[in-house]
């Protein structure tokens, strides 16, 4: 399958990053969101990222302009008729994702791969909203998508071998390192390991064992991670971790994954991390 036009649904942190990555890698991109203001926000994030690349000498002004010209934005999903592959990056809500996939199934050609960037949710269930479950898979990028090297290619129950091979090849064309997740399990590989670490870090904070700053310092210096758990949750969005925990708890029927009270309170108070100016830390 030859891919020239990449469709991305959702222009938030991940969707805009994936659209930017695909355009940097030379693909034509159609980026969709429900309202123009979300597309404007996405484009401004893309602009900011590339301004930094220009300032660091990684890209020229001219190359930046060419990348931007390859990104078309739209609020009309029908424009995905021309897409050769679609990556969905809307909010982490199964019903919203299923409704997007049902629409994409009607709009795009039968052979088009419909991939989801879900952090945790069942690929099999998302695929069940379509008539082509063999062409549906997870393509899980990490934040920021332009920089982080890993992509988890996740099989749903009916995902074909051909789809997995094509997605791995596509990931390589985006200059990523794909790993195959052979079974559709909540959280895949990375979040299955990382989420329990977040939970333990929050419990240490709740128990008064150490401050958030010291827990972050302990993890960065003791485990040699580039970011501590609180810095990372604020960066990725406190709400994302919360939804992933709820989902994993319910799917595994295991309270080990239940979000701690402090996390629930932050979400209820709208402290969702850097994107809202405050999370575990204050940013103003």
Ligand X SMILES: NC(=O)c1ccc[n+]([C@@H]2O[C@H](COP(=O)([O-])OP(=O)(O)OC[C@H]3O[C@@H](n4cnc5c(N)ncnc54)[C@H](O)[C@@H]3O)[C@@H](O)[C@H]2O)c1
Instruction: Cite the annotated binding site by residue number.
Output: 10-15, 33, 92, 97, 119, 143, 275
Active site residue 152: yes
Asked whether position 143 contacts ligand X by CB under 6 A, the answer is yes
Among 89, 113, 171, 238, which residue sits at the site for ligand X (rule: CB under 6 A)?
A: 89
DSSP conformational letter for 142 = -
Active site residue 119: yes
Per-residue interface string for the shown chain with ligand X, residues 166-205, x marking contact by CB under 6 A = ----------------------------------------
Asked whether position 246 contacts ligand X by CB under 6 A, the answer is no
- Measured in whole angstroms, the distance separating CA 176 from the mean position of its chain's CA atoms is 14
Based on its alpha-carbon atoms, the radius of gyration of the chain, rounded to whole angstroms, reads 19
- Dihedral sign for Cα atoms in the order 209, 214, 216, 219: negative
Per-residue interface string for the shown chain with ligand X, residues 29-68, x marking contact by CB under 6 A = ---xxx---x------------------------------
Residues 6+ apart with CB under 8 A from 26: 70
Q: How far apart are CA 249 and CA 185, in angstroms?
A: 12
Q: How far apart are CA 137 and CA 183, in angstroms?
A: 11
Shortest distance (Å) from residue 169 CB to ligand X: 21
Instruction: Tell me how crowded residue 261 is: count the other CB atoms within 10 A of its CB.
Output: 11
Peptide bond into 3 cis (omega under 30): no
Asked whether position 156 contacts ligand X by CB under 6 A, the answer is no
Active site residue 191: yes
* Nearest residue (beta carbon) to ligand X: 12
Residues forming the active site: 119, 140, 152, 191
Residues in touch with ligand X (CB under 6 A): 9-15, 32-34, 38, 89-92, 96, 100, 117-119, 141-143, 236-237, 240
């Amino acid at each position: 399958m030859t891919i020239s036009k990449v469709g991305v649904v959702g222009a938030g942190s991940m969707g805009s990053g994936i659209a930017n990555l695909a355009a940097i890698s030379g693909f034509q991109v159609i980026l969709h969101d429900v309202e123009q203001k979300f597309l404007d926000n996405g484009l401004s994030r893309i602009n900011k990222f590339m301004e930094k690349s220009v300032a660091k000498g990684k890209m020229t002004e001219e190359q930046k302009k060419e990348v931007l010209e390859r990104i078309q934005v739209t609020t009309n999903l029908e424009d995905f008729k021309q897409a050769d592959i679609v990556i969905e990056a809307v909010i982490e809500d199964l019903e919203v994702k299923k409704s997007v996939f049902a629409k994409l199934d009607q709009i795009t050609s039968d052979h088009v791969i419909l991939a989801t960037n879900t952090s945790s949710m069942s690929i099999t269930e998302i695929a069940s909203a379509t008539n082509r479950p063999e062409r549906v898979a997870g393509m899980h990028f990490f934040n920021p998508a332009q920089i982080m090297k890993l992509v988890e290619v996740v099989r749903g129950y009916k995902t074909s071998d051909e789809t997995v091979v094509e997605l791995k090849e596509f990931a390589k064309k985006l200059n990523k390192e794909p790993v195959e997740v052979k079974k559709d399990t909540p959280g895949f590989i990375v979040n299955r390991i990382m989420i329990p670490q977040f939970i333990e870090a929050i419990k240490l904070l709740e128990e008064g064992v150490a401050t958030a700053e010291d827990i972050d310092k302990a993890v960065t210096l003791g485990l040699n991670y580039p970011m501590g758990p609180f810095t990372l949750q604020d960066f990725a969005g406190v709400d994302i971790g919360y939804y992933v925990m709820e989902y994993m708890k319910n799917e595994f029927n295991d309270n080990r994954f239940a979000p701690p009270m402090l996390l629930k309170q932050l979400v209820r108070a709208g402290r969702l991390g850097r994107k809202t100016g405050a999370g575990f830390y204050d940013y103003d």
